[in-house]
Amino acid sequence: MFKLRTGLLFFVAAVLSAFAVQAAENDWQTWQQLFNKMQTEKGKKPLAPYPRIKSLDVTAVLKGSAGTSVSSYRGHYQEKCITCHDGIEEVSAGHPREFGCTVCHGGNGDSVDQRDAHATLIYDPNAGTGKRNPSSLTVVEKSCGQLQCHSGHSQADRNHIQRVKKSMMATMAGMISGLRYQWAAQSTRAAKHGVYSIRDDDGTVPLDRGALPQLEALPFSTALEGRQYSHLLGPSKTARVSRHIGDSLLRQRCFQCHLDSPPAPGQYRSQGCAACHFSYSPDALYKGGDPTIPRTEKGHPAFHKMTTLTPNAICTQCHKATGPGQIKQEPLEIENVLSFPGQGQVLQDVHFEKGFECIDCHTQYDIMGDGNLYSKQNQAVEIRCETCHGSPGTPPATAEVTDPDDRVIRLSRHYNGWTNAVKDKMILSARQQKMTNVKLEKNQVVTLGKRSGRKFSTPVLRAKKGGHAIAAHNDKLECTACHSQWVPECKGCHALFDPIKSTQDSSSSKNSWKLSADSFDVKTPGLMVGPRGKVAPMLPQIPRPLTVLDEKGNPLAALGGNGDTHNRYKDWRFTNPHGYSGANLAYSVTPHSISKNVRSCASCHLSPETLGLGEGAILLNKSSSGKNDAVEPVIRSEIVQHQSGYAPDAKVTIRGEPLAGTGQTGARPLNQEEITRILRVGNCIPCHDRYADPIYQNMGKSYAFEKKIAHRKLRNKILTQQ
């Protein structure tokens, strides 16, 4: 045996010596052909095919850094990854081939052995996407978040990783705080918990905007759940057990929209940074040139290509009921109209109709966060309608670009077909930040498409006319209150919890919740007071029942359709700390259904549904105080069964008593004074149905005239002529 090994060693040494030149040049195929020829002549088995060694020089220098060489991150000046991954696409112009592979993916770039080369790849083992994604938020500091990459810059807006990890998409703070407040798991509307624990330690916490100093990791419903989901906790690796069913629902179902979570079964997207910057084909199959990626294995991006400018199809993977396209579970395609089940064609948002994309309105701070922790989405978003269109008599605010290193110039270099420059006058957001694609040109506000390169002329409200001439509208209404055409309505929302399955293994645990199939409808927006103190559209969420199965599989109606607790199963409470139903929700929303045309006056001032009173007929008393007014509901089943005295979809009584709770700070259903005032105007609409009617310029004077005999005679004359 020793002689055989020694002979083999001498033989290999001789061959290596004979072909030293080729070996030095990595000409392994030539070496292998000659060796196999000798093996064949001796009647021995040839070597298995060995790839030709290919290498890539890592020569890139990071843009915007002080000459930082990419090779310094992993210590590889040459990498052999393309020996196997020959044909893989260049990931982006900002990450050229000269970056190599290991700076982002980790691994051993000197090895051509798969096991050795991939042993130290950067990935989240709990992400469910194999070893291919180094941008999961649990590991992103080792890849995208390395110093001088997307972290560690003096310009805070370039530190994308720190911003994204504190964004609403990453923390889910709004969803968590809303459900926990409604179901009495916490006493305040402000967020206390996130998907993982995180602190805002950058020294800037704008409390006046609702920012928070920290979020704790969401408690676990049970100790078993804590063991199954401990990988989501972040650095602390500890979280308390709440024994509240709401935390189980959040973690097992709602977290499927979390930026770093695996998608729901049958859906395909990535996590972390790649969730927004990599696209998947409809069949979730790879279409590129890397020979190592199976063409029949679902779950791969279409190409190994990153997109800086996120397309609508990626946004609408999660934001299903807001974007252009057909409302369904699959990624949405851009269409000319919106199609809804049972509704036919629904008018499209005017911005989408003109050719806008989501990123043309929403800024990087809206989407990726501004570096602060917030409780609610309305606190995190910096754009308003007034940002681009102004308000009656007040044009949009502007600021001139004076610094060639201004972020609006740097970011515009990634846009298609145009860039910003010094002396450009940029429109300012509500946070007084320069918009990167909205500016003044020849005293005209224009919006430039970031991906399309198109130029859109943006109308500005220069005078008080039409509905804008009514002072009460300008002072008390959000623009969306009149200009929104519809809001999406989730139908059939019913949650069923099986506690038996929650005690099984982790794979079965995810099935302990069963939700009714998603079904969206559209409705004319109802109205409520939004978190900014103005009347805004209301999401028409129907009451959401909850059923819990007991140990024998029998259903226990823990939360009924009218919001009452039918069964205090394990002492869970479903009435929020202010005493309102946990099943009945009033939620202010900004619908993506804007039209230049506005809803009719009657649709607000003569509609009980719009006012949150539910579907029915308003019975007005002769007195205009509203004290003795009433609503006769169309659906009376709950009244007959003595379960409720109001319509099933009512959010408030006609006396302004809230029936529905809201988790938004400052938001509420309309009160009695507001309802009475709105209905009182409704009395005038049959005759005065135009905004320009002079009676609306001074309602106090008009109401005084309404009480006089002259008004009664004039009204009778008009009615007689009709």
Q: Higher confidence at residue 544 or residue 305? A: 305
The one-letter amino acid at 285: L
Strand order in the sheet with 455-457: 398-400, 425-428, 434-441, 444-448, 455-457
Concatenated DSSP letters for 616-673?
EEEE--SSTTSTT-EEEES--HHHHTTS-SS-TT-SB-TTS-B-EE--STT-B---HH
Confidence category of residue 691, pLDDT binned at 50, 70, 90:
confident
CB neighbour burial string for 394-420, b if at least 16 within 10 angstroms, e if fewer: ebbebbebeeeebbbbbbbeebeeeeb
- Whether 261 is covered by a domain: the verdict is yes
- Whether 61 is covered by a domain: the verdict is no
Same domain, 462 and 347: no
Q: Report how far apart the first and last C-alpha atoms of the chain are (Å, whole number).
A: 116
pLDDT in tens, 353-364: 999 999 999 999
Q: Which domain holds residue 534?
A: 484-691
Instruction: Pick the last residue of a domain from 431, 466, 501.
Output: 466
pLDDT at 480 over 80: yes
Same domain, 350 and 395: no
Work out how many domains the chain is built from and give that number.
4
Same domain, 169 and 206: yes
pLDDT in tens, 245-292: 889 889 888 887 788 888 777 888 899 999 999 999 999 999 999 999
Same domain, 396 and 275: no
Least confident of 196-200, 339-343, 406-410, 593-597: 339-343
What's the pLDDT at 505?
43
Same domain, 523 and 651: yes
> Which segment, 313-322, 458-467, 509-518, 627-636, is predicted with the most confidence on average?
458-467
% of the chain at pLDDT higher than 70 = 81
How large is the average pLDDT for residues 612-630?
Answer: 76
Same domain, 564 and 684: yes
pLDDT at 571 over 80: no
% of the chain at pLDDT higher than 90 = 47
Same domain, 574 and 447: no
Q: Higher confidence at residue 654 or residue 491? A: 654
Same domain, 179 and 247: yes
Show the tokens assigned to 215.
Answer: 């979020």
Least confident of 164-173, 282-291, 691-700: 691-700
Same domain, 426 and 556: no
- Whether 29 is covered by a domain: the verdict is yes
What's the pLDDT at 428?
98
Confidence category of residue 342, pLDDT binned at 50, 70, 90:
very low
CA 307 to chain centre: 18
- Whether 113 is covered by a domain: the verdict is no
- Whether 384 is covered by a domain: the verdict is no
> Which segment, 53-67, 167-181, 624-638, 648-662, is predicted with the most confidence on average?
167-181
- Whether 9 is covered by a domain: the verdict is yes
Same domain, 656 and 682: yes
How large is the average pLDDT for residues 543-558?
Answer: 76
Same domain, 272 and 407: no
Same domain, 488 and 627: yes
Least confident of 110-124, 418-432, 534-548: 534-548
Instruction: Tell me the CA distances in angstroms from 57 to 25, 91, 105, 187, 473, one per residue in order.
Output: 15, 16, 16, 58, 64
- Whether 52 is covered by a domain: the verdict is no
- Whether 90 is covered by a domain: the verdict is no
